[in-house]
Structure 1
Amino acid sequence: MVRVVMKPLISKIPLVGGLQIFFLNNPSIDFNLVGAADILDMPGFSDILRRCIVEQVSKMMVLPNKLSIKLSDEIPTVDLRMPEPEGVLRIHLVQAQNLMKKDVSMLGKGKSDPYAVITVGAQQWKTKHIDNNVNPRWDFWCEAIISSKKSQSLQCELWDWDPGMGIQNDDYLGRCSLDISQVVRFGRLDTWQTLQQAKHGKVQLRLSWHRLSTDVTELSRALTETLLIKTGDLSSAVLSVYIDSCKKLPNARVQSRPDPYLMVTVGKKTENTAVQLRTDDPVYEIGYSFLVQNPEIDTLDVKVLDQKTGSQLGQLFYSISALLKEKDLTMLTQPLMLQKSGPESKIILSLQLRILKEAIKEVDIDEESLEAAVSEPSPPTPSPSVSSAATDTTDGGASHPRPQSAAPADPLPAQPASSGDTELKNIEDSVQDDASQRSVPEEIIDKEVDSPQENQPPSGRDSPKLIHRTSSLTTSAGEAGLGRILLSLRYSMQNQTLYIVVHKIMNIPLKDPTNVPDPYVKLYLLPGRTKDSKRKTVVVKDSCMPEYDEQFEWVIPLAELHSRQVEVTVATHKGFLAGSPVIGQVVVHLNQYDFREAKTLWFDLMPETSPRD
């Protein structure tokens, strides 16, 4: 997805001072080579060429990089090109489990040599590979500067390392993705993500979101936190640098103007600007962001180099601690004298320092207004039921049975339950519960779904006009007596992806106490029912109440979403009811749900209607 930001607004035509154009995440780029270039369209060369093109696009206009276009001379260029990070995402890739075995030995056994590639926008990290292990533990830490917390996502790809040159020799082990907005919501998140495009496997990620502050008192806490983690490479602040230009540089050779470029370094990260040809007054107008481990001792190092000769034309050492004494930790555009250069050589730049705040749950305006509503409840107002899959809660706090809809779309419920304080406490407890964090990408499972009421009659005003199979309130074993399955449904407009989480199954009938089923769940996209759309959970041995908490995803264009269905089949390896492996089945019609918010629903298992594999 590409985003265009028009800012700032001005009173003259063209009404905006400039444009910022950028991709939120790395785009998918595909092309065909024709003519003389067709010689490069061969295995190995083609992959390298495509990867080089993607890397160049990332450096140019994938966050945090932006393509800035100035439309009015009234607007300072620094307003468009100074980086504006919203926060830092701290990533801890802990481990993976049950990965596919890609290196098969002569005896039929096999292993993999897995490594992970983590991508956030144009930022990418790669772990070391671990030999002969399908349950690797990396304990890998990295940090990503986030420019759009509501839109960016984290991608994690796993590969099996094989000897040879380049990634084309490595085998794919699967991938997972996570919206950063989910981490922002909770502050910290410890989650197991099921690998997609893989037969099996999952990966554990521990994530924390750190906002940025101009409060210097936050620095001691940030430094203490990095010392406790003991990795040695974590940051406590973010430095944004905007370099406007250099003035009166010396010549590298007699009677020859230099071709200067800048090498900007903070800590272990170095950025190089473009080369300005044959000038001693180069203009760069470029911004960078750097993670700073300790602002009290770290420095900004800027070297001015000549491309022709490789000689140094000047250098600037700037102690970042000086910004701690500036107002708002900001140094506005001003010239600084270059060292080891001409007598009047200078560099014009702006600097901005921000301190990482503690990772806590962010409270938005909606949640604050909700808390006010809980403290001062309004008179009850009847609310008709929209769907039989859930019953609604009135504005005044009176709640009705909700045997089907098990989760709200936000961390706090849209309307208070019978006791506001108790409901809020349960929600806070569920945020800390690992099981709830790993279950649904963008919601928390409400406590009451764990035990659906068996003989609870529906309220009169909750009687639906449209009856779905998911609305059975007769028994917790379901309408057909085959049990019930709890699913979460979510659609990401940004990624054009449908997410389904299989949580658990309740009350699978036990016909023979000596033959307890080994249930698993398989899912297909309809129509079509192809092998590519098949997803399958792990097998739970000897259980009539299995729990999975596995997430699956399908890429579906929004235009096709409401014409698709998902077939969910519960089966067992032991055979069931005269030898059939199928316990029950349900078809989820996606056109019956509003995917502007996530849904968590109980579905009754019905007798099999679709053909088996």
Structure 2
Amino acid sequence: MEKAFKEKVEPKIRAKNVHLRTCTFTKLDFGEKCPKINGVKAYTKEIDRRQVTLDVQISYIGDCEIHMEISKFKGGVKGIQLHGTLRMILEPLLPDVPFFGALTIFFMQKPHLEINWVGLTNLLDAPGISEMSDTLIQDLIASRLVLPNRITIPLKKNMNISQLRFPIPRGVVRVHLLQAENLVQKDHFRGKSDPYANLRVGLVQFRSKTIQRNLNPIWNEMYEFVVHELPGQDLEVDLYDEDTDKDDFLGSLLINLTDVMNDGIVDKWFPLSKTESGHLHLKLEWLSLVTDQEKLHQDKNGLATALLIVYLESACNLSMDQDASSYVVLSVGNKTLKSKTCKFNKDPMWGQAFTFFVHSAQSQSLHLEIKDKDRQNVLGTLAVSLSHLLKDSEMTLDQRFQLDQSGLDSFIKMKLVLRVLCIKEPDPQSNNTGGKALKQVPVPAAEKGGNQHKSPLPPKIEPSKVSHVSKDSGVPEAKGAKKESTAGLTVIEHPAGSAVNENSAEFNAPAGSQYLEPHPLVTLPTRKLEHSAAPSVASLSSFATSCFELDSNLALNGTNLTGMPLGEIQLAVRYASLRRSLIVMINGCRNLMPPSNRGVDPYVRVYLLPDKRRASRRKTTVKKKTFDPHYDEKFEFFESLEEVKKRTLDIAVKNSRSLISRERRELGKVLIDLSKEDLIKGFSQWYELRTYRQSRR
């Protein structure tokens, strides 16, 4: 490694700038600590069966020490921390060794990076400067290893990896940022906030306009994001209060785009996480990429009708000096993108992909310029009318193009792919705008005592749907069941505590955990409680709902059942290191003991003891008239791992009844001492429910 730094890295640094020509590494010690793998998640759904897809959570807390000198100045690095989730795709599958044709790796989001600078460079550790320096390095990593960028390594000779490096995106999500309600007051002097929203998918980020002095802002803005990888990529929304010094945080959302793709249209209010109150109204539309030109329509209201994907490969015989460096500027309409710079080569190879939203494929063109980085003179130009792509049935051009304003033998090699944006039309017989659409007036948080779920109308329950698992935590979540309203108001039931489902691999729970089969009421089967590993990375947040709870000893037919098993509850628990939160998944219960012959309407209440405040309480939805309820609902507690290790999970199954009813009783509970659990590895387990006399909430 030291030889590689001396022979390869050092010359590249010197070539970057005239002031770096004296750069020399004086000490290279890479330490003894190796990167750790905290968890591996294998995907079994929503992927091509001809590939193996893994998410590997990497954590590196290195003791490396690197010193360097530039002229008379000394500096370096002593210690690096890097945490992130690396996706690995092995494809295509082969019948013989090595069984896979190539390995593709990339980060879904920017990894978390911390660097301890020493010497003169310890100035970079100063507040503000530290964030800037680390961000610059994160951007450098992102330009190579964060989607849509990826590295593909062939594992077999003569393997064509061009299509593996640049797959066609999965689709486009159109986000309508409509309005928010009940936001937290941050400007205490004025009693208001100045909210704006940051929306991000991968490396693409947009910022909304700022609404001055308003806790119920209305934006009515629209944004379009290209989605390259599913499952895995999410829509992240952060709300801030704009200030002159530092903007205050107002809440966030993390929405799994696989669910949006499955539903087509999602129009609902989302509760904000990491805040006391607030809801955000979004309308999300999924647009598939198709080759059916009959679905190509004219631009309406500034909305894109197609997506152009440009695979920029290489150029040859450019009219330039041998020591010159070249880059490419590409533009379609008002959008302009720039390639990386290839140094000292008349035949540069870029190997990059670019995407452009197209509003009129019949009239728009792709314009391209190759420029000399140092002299800024043009080395060649090209204009390609997108109407040429419409003449091909696959709307694809893969060829060498003759460059203008260059030599007669100067060419550029590109592949152009045009795809029509096609939205999934809702069922005309249904009033719903998607499987999980929710159109209703939000319940003001001030009236309910916290940032709660918006209360839906009385549900009309459908059969349970297959549960999905969150991108980060690997914890399943249930798709909401549709509900109908005779008042013409379209609502759906969805779990309290989750904004939207997250798809990925199954959580490593015991077999049959998705659908808990009913068992006879009288007999509680003896079951071996086994821990199983859980994947790690963060997921959706949850929020507390307010409801006065009563508790008493459970008695059935005159028998005191205190301390006796009263049914079972299945839980999945894991600490998500990146989000610094404890994730608790309530899968379901079985064999619950009814308090009377009227049946039971169970829900689950969760505390992270000793905190028993109403705002800290988490509750699932109520399941009507069942002894074997299925929840698949996830809750998140934002605490450090050290703090969580001191806590106890208090999980109780309650029977929902009116406040004046004597039947409203605790059906059983379980207490889990988290200091005895491996939370980083995670566990999924069935617990026997019991009663505890000391509980009063």
| TM-score normalised by the chain length of structure 2 | 0.57
Change (3 A) 1:276 1:63: closer
In the aligned structure 1, how far is the partner of 2:617 from the partner of 2:274?
11
Structure 1 position 436 matched with structure 2 position 493: yes
Once the two structures are superposed, the pairs formed by residues 381-396 of structure 1 within 5 Å of their partners are: none
Of 281, 288, 291, 1:204 maps to 281
> Cα offset for 1:585?
11
Q: Is this contact kept in 1: 2:462–2:482, CA < 8 A?
A: no
Structure 1 position 101 matched with structure 2 position 170: no
What's the counterpart of residue 302 of structure 1?
A: 368
Change (3 A) 1:589 1:407: farther
Once the two structures are superposed, the pairs formed by residues 91-240 of structure 1 within 5 Å of their partners are: 91-105=175-189, 109-164=190-245, 169-220=246-297, 223=298, 227=300, 230=301, 232=302, 234-240=303-309
Amino acid at match of 2:180: A
For residue 141 of structure 2, give the secondary structure of its aligned residue in structure 1: helix
Describe the superposition over 1:135-191 as per-residue Cα deviations: whole angstroms up to 9, x where unpaired: 111122111211222222221111111125xxxx21111212111122122211123
Once the two structures are superposed, the pairs formed by residues 136-535 of structure 1 within 5 Å of their partners are: 136-164=217-245, 169-220=246-297, 223=298, 227=300, 230=301, 232=302, 234-251=303-320, 257-332=323-398, 334-360=399-425, 408-410=464-466, 427=482, 433-436=490-493, 439=496, 441-442=500-501, 463-465=523-525, 498=583, 524-526=607-609, 529=611, 535=616
Amino acid at match of 2:583: L
Q: Is this contact kept in 2: 1:247–1:280, CA < 8 A?
A: yes
Give the gaps of 5 or more residues in structure 1: 363-402, 413-425, 444-457, 481-486, 502-520, 539-549, 577-582
Q: Is this contact kept in 2: 1:470–1:604, CA < 8 A?
A: no
> Cα offset for 1:465?
4.1
Q: Is this contact kept in 1: 2:483–2:493, CA < 8 A?
A: no
Once the two structures are superposed, the pairs formed by residues 1-16 of structure 1 within 5 Å of their partners are: 1-9=85-93, 14-16=98-100
Q: Is this contact kept in 2: 1:189–1:437, CA < 8 A?
A: no
Of 121, 144, 151, 1:67 maps to 151
Describe the superposition over 1:410-441 as per-residue Cα deviations: whole angstroms up to 9, x where unpaired: 389xxxxxxxxxxxxx85859x9434258553
Q: Is this contact kept in 1: 2:267–2:282, CA < 8 A?
A: yes
Q: Is this contact kept in 1: 2:317–2:411, CA < 8 A?
A: yes
Q: Is this contact kept in 1: 2:552–2:666, CA < 8 A?
A: no
In the aligned structure 1, how far is the partner of 2:211 from the partner of 2:416?
41
What's the counterpart of residue 448 of structure 2?
A: none
Give the gaps of 5 or more residues in structure 2: 1-84, 428-458, 469-480, 503-517, 528-550, 563-568, 587-603, 620-632, 675-681
> Cα offset for 1:493?
10
Change (3 A) 1:304 1:77: farther
Describe the superposition over 1:540-591 as per-residue Cα deviations: whole angstroms up to 9, x where unpaired: xxxxxxxxxx985336999x99x96246799xxxx99xxxxxx989856689
For residue 321 of structure 1, give the secondary structure of its aligned residue in structure 2: helix
Change (3 A) 1:608 1:35: farther
> Cα offset for 1:297?
2.0
In the aligned structure 2, how far is the partner of 1:61 from the partner of 1:73?
24
> Cα offset for 1:80?
2.9
Describe the superposition over 1:92-124 as per-residue Cα deviations: whole angstroms up to 9, x where unpaired: 12112111122221xxx5211111111112221
> Cα offset for 1:71?
4.5
Change (3 A) 1:256 1:411: closer
For residue 328 of structure 1, give the secondary structure of its aligned residue in structure 2: coil
Q: Is this contact kept in 1: 2:109–2:203, CA < 8 A?
A: yes
When you count strand as a share of all residues, which structure comes out higher? 2
In the aligned structure 2, how far is the partner of 1:212 from the partner of 1:121?
19
Q: Is this contact kept in 1: 2:304–2:359, CA < 8 A?
A: yes
For residue 52 of structure 1, give the secondary structure of its aligned residue in structure 2: helix
Name the % identity: 29
For residue 281 of structure 1, give the secondary structure of its aligned residue in structure 2: coil
Change (3 A) 1:54 1:489: farther
Structure 1 position 24 matched with structure 2 position 24: no
In the aligned structure 2, how far is the partner of 1:470 from the partner of 1:342?
89
Q: Is this contact kept in 1: 2:196–2:208, CA < 8 A?
A: yes
Structure 1 position 553 matched with structure 2 position 609: no
For residue 118 of structure 1, give the secondary structure of its aligned residue in structure 2: strand
> Cα offset for 1:208?
1.5
In the aligned structure 2, how far is the partner of 1:134 from the partner of 1:522?
30
In the aligned structure 1, how far is the partner of 2:168 from the partner of 2:284?
22
Amino acid at match of 2:140: Q
In the aligned structure 2, how far is the partner of 1:488 from the partner of 1:12?
42
In the aligned structure 2, how far is the partner of 1:16 from the partner of 1:459?
44
Q: Is this contact kept in 2: 1:498–1:556, CA < 8 A?
A: no
> Cα offset for 1:3?
0.8
Amino acid at match of 2:244: P
Q: Is this contact kept in 2: 1:82–1:241, CA < 8 A?
A: no
For residue 80 of structure 1, give the secondary structure of its aligned residue in structure 2: helix
> Cα offset for 1:537?
8.6
> Cα offset for 1:16?
3.8
Amino acid at match of 2:422: K
> Cα offset for 1:530?
9.1
In the aligned structure 2, how far is the partner of 1:471 from the partner of 1:320?
73
In the aligned structure 2, how far is the partner of 1:530 from the partner of 1:41?
39
In the aligned structure 1, how far is the partner of 2:410 from the partner of 2:254?
48
In the aligned structure 2, how far is the partner of 1:262 from the partner of 1:470?
73
Once the two structures are superposed, the pairs formed by residues 564-603 of structure 1 within 5 Å of their partners are: 565-566=649-650
In the aligned structure 1, how far is the partner of 2:115 from the partner of 2:612?
27
What's the counterpart of residue 387 of structure 1?
A: none
When you count helix as a share of all residues, which structure comes out higher? 1
Amino acid at match of 2:324: P
Change (3 A) 1:155 1:240: same
> Cα offset for 1:51?
2.6
In the aligned structure 1, how far is the partner of 2:524 from the partner of 2:112?
44
Change (3 A) 1:25 1:323: same
In the aligned structure 1, how far is the partner of 2:342 from the partner of 2:137?
23
| TM-score normalised by the chain length of structure 1 | 0.64
> Cα offset for 1:490?
8.2
What's the counterpart of residue 37 of structure 1?
A: 121
Q: How many residues align?
A: 465
In the aligned structure 2, how far is the partner of 1:10 from the partner of 1:459?
44
Q: CA RMSD in A?
A: 4.8
In the aligned structure 1, how far is the partner of 2:225 from the partner of 2:257?
11
